[in-house]
A and B are shown apart, each in its own frame.
Chain A
Amino acid sequence: MGDAMSAITGTTVHAGEVLLTLDRLHKRYPNGVEAVRSISMEVRRGEVFGLVGPNGAGKSTLLKLIAGLLRPEQGTVLMEGVDVTGRPVEAARRIGLMPDPLGVYTDVSCREYLVFFARVHGIPGDAESPAFKRVVDLLGLLPWLDAEVESLSAGWQRRLALGRMLLLDAPLLLLDEPAAGLDIQARSALLEIVRNLRELGRTVVISSHILPELESLADRFGIMNAGQWVDILPGQSFIGRQALKQGLGGCRWRIGCEAADAALGVLTKAGIRAAVLADGGIEFSAACERLASDILRDLLLAGIRVNDFRRLDTGLADVALSVLKGGQPV
């Protein structure tokens, strides 16, 4: 798979170079809804950027604006320094979009589908061409080439759509909910392909509701709500995967004990803000492990029988939920 990927991603990767720049993009739909409000961002070459947000946050609109399918009222989209704002033909030479929902042609086989899009992109439309074969090998489409696209499962249809984009060999891929409606196996297979693209330096902007998988895939995240970026940390709209793993507001811990009120008293005395959970457990944040161990010692010295004491991982879902509620990251 690796060789096939290398051949497909033939473009030279200059990690760190800014590939995509969005400058104060603003989009209002004819019905008056402001779907995107002054969105600015930069995506670097070789990066996978994760777009997170509730339904109606403006993620799909933002991706369509980048692909030139929508024209913003204000702002610009620069791709490799070229202004592609509202210019789908110009954008299409550099950007591949997998929209959601994904439409398929009826009465067309997978082979015809790929050959058609190869012809659309000016690639020799021969099913025997090296580019075609590499995409088919990469995506495992060989057994399905003569099957009608319509008859494929949602997972295979998405693979096929990805094949269309890989044929194009665009430097930037926009994936709008690529795993929506897929079963665990299909989702895992599709995300594995995207992961390989990331390892080989392809630049991907991906929006997804499946946050644990997005978390393992993306290098940076931005959370959108009501058409705007939500600050994840004060004054900071984006967060890296590593920073997310290390815990944004300190590490979270959980204590299980019978005397919850007494334990809460010990924590308050130590100046720690804690919350009692529905199951009687207590959750708190500690800036470092040393502080957590001091708290455990205090609890034991206070005669409280502790039957559970563990560190909780901070996930993207926790962070997203927390900041969307208007609070600081957990």
Chain B
Amino acid sequence: MKTISSLTMKGPAMPRLLARILLAGLLCLTLPLLLAACGGDDDGGADGTAAATTPGAGDGAGGRSGGVLRIVTEEDLAAPLDAGATYSAGAFNVLTATNRPLYRYLPDDPTRAVPDLAAAAPEVSDDGRTVTVRIRDGVRYSPPVNREVVARDVKYAIERGFSPAVGNGYAGLYYGAVIGADRATGGPIAGITAPDDRTLVFRLRRPTGGLLAEALVLPLSAPVPAEYARRFDRVGEGETSQYVNHQVATGPYRFKADASGRVLGAGIVPGRRYVLERNPSWDPATDDRPAHLDGIEWSVGNDPNVAGRQVLEGSGMSLGDTPTAALIKRAVEQHPDQIFFSPGAGSRFAALNTQIPPFDDPNLRKAVAAALDRNQMRLVRGGEVLGDPATHFLYPGVSGFEEAGGMEGPGVDFLANPDGDMELARRYLAAAGYPDGRYTGSETVDVVGDSGDPSDKNAQIFDETLRSLGFRTKLRLVDSGTMYGRFCTVPRAKVEVCPNLGWQRDFDDPQTVLYAAFSGDAIAAQNNTNIPQLDDPAINAAMARAELLVDKQERAEAWAKIDRMITETGAAIPWLWDKQPVLSSKDVHCAHQVWNQGHCDLAFSSLR
């Protein structure tokens, strides 16, 4: 396996290098104007008028077997890269290549989960309180474990997810109804049993088997060998599980490791690079993924503009970040077959605090929603290629989207005009007790936005909208972590407006989009996910009923109704359904994971 650097470096001989440095130095001194000219041809962002070029997601077929795909990013993969802990699209992308959760999605079908480690679809009992999964034969761990996977490995994997040393963020949300899970801190959970090596049974306190069955696509269900992992998971206070640095694989690839199995420093170098190589224990007879590539290498910390150019003009590369507006424009105009806009990449919305004035008044919320120019909000992000103006919260590609009204939405008047409707906004203001159509309250509205480009511009547009209606505002732009961690998710911070919020589904179930974001039960003093603090008894009751449904279509219809109810409150203003642009080199046959932000599915993609 070559390293990233050795692939990039073409190994020039030293005397030639000296000549080159002299020549480079000479040119530096003599070509200042040329310098400026060369840097200037990328200026400007994608204006949204360029035609959308969206080649098919593809399945990687047609490429050759072998080669190394290089993925370049600026941002680090959201670590730790432990299947039991991680909770981000980029990390899911990597870990689906190294792990075999019970189920997974095919790259271009975000709605249908297929068995991976499981041998068949999960069996949910009629009362919705028991879920049974059969485990496939012949799946083995990579060295140094090497043995065959058994059902109790999945039991251990899920149990360790409840350990604070692992720190899984969704275990409680989706597996919390399993008997004993409410008290679990990493030890055995009574409601998960493995009666034999091939059978795994979940017994639930509440009849929420439908949701649990869907959640089995999450990486937490990927097996972990207890006898190997336990020594890394049992750590003292103040420390975190070290299994991530010694992890073994079940998928077609594994993190490069030393002889002892340690991947830290070899396959995982945080903030620098991640290297995958073929898993010698992987048996293609047990997996329908072609695994064309010999290896995958991530390079982290790249300047986004430089990395984007390297991808577009180089070979064997894909950009792991969202490209800059200038790069999108360049790709659309000059390399249209190298950019893919992945639909259903999430939704963006603004939350208005429903618990404190002035937005405890629904009419004022609706006035703001009516006035907001969602097309302008989209334009500053790059225009129509990057998404559609949102009309509700279940976004395209999520189960229940069509039932909730599709692109047209539920038909509420205050979201009818994507360019904004000031006349309607004034009518709502009048209904709120401001007959001249202008807010005259004395309080200052605290608006906290994301300082990163282009989110800062979205926050400024929102702030201007509020001001145009007469609100006095105080706009604070901070980094994303601070925006969430210190302001928007902390009710006692009493922030009235958070305009830069986004949500992505965890798997294909509408509950994963709506519950945490809008259920009254989700309101918490810290890490509050219901940022508008919407606590509507009718909505809460509808959610309580909908989460017990097992049939997928019934769930879609029930949650679509809830989506409509939420939209009608105006507690949050949906303004964009994202399409995620993904850049790849011309010789990369990228099988885009449409379920996961359009990243190249590493086990399906290939080089031409």
Check if A and B associate.
no
Which residues does A use to contact B, with CB under 8 Å? none
Which residues does B use to contact A, with CB under 8 Å? none
